[in-house]
Structure 1
Amino acid sequence: MERLRVGFAVMLIFGFVLNMVHSSNAQSLAPASPPMSDGVTVDQGIAYVLMLLALVLTYIIH
């Protein structure tokens, strides 16, 4: 039983080392594509939402 346990540990370590060697030879991923917007659209959307919120609050207060 002890021999089986030692054999399992050796195989586990061997598999881990083999996995590390294989992953070090793997090709790197392609760089991410550039964003489609430069953030102006998002900023403008947030501004519209805040203006709408201000109008609603003004209407509720009066």
Structure 2
Amino acid sequence: MASRNSVTGFALFSFVFAVILSLAGAQSLAPAPAPTSDGTSIDQGIAYLLMVVAYLTITNFIGLTKEISDQFRSRI
């Protein structure tokens, strides 16, 4: 009876040990590839640039019209 328990214990220990060793020798997962640009970031950069150009154009136009308006009022 004692020999049967020792054989069962040894078999169980061997099985667990084999599973642990097989997991230890497994290959690790490959790293994820670097993200590629799909063009949306470039489009967003162009959009921001166009918004800055529009802002500067409008502020210069408002300043120019105010200057013309002030000159016109001074002549009247």
Same fold, judged at TM 0.5 (above): no
TM-score, with length taken from structure 1: 0.42
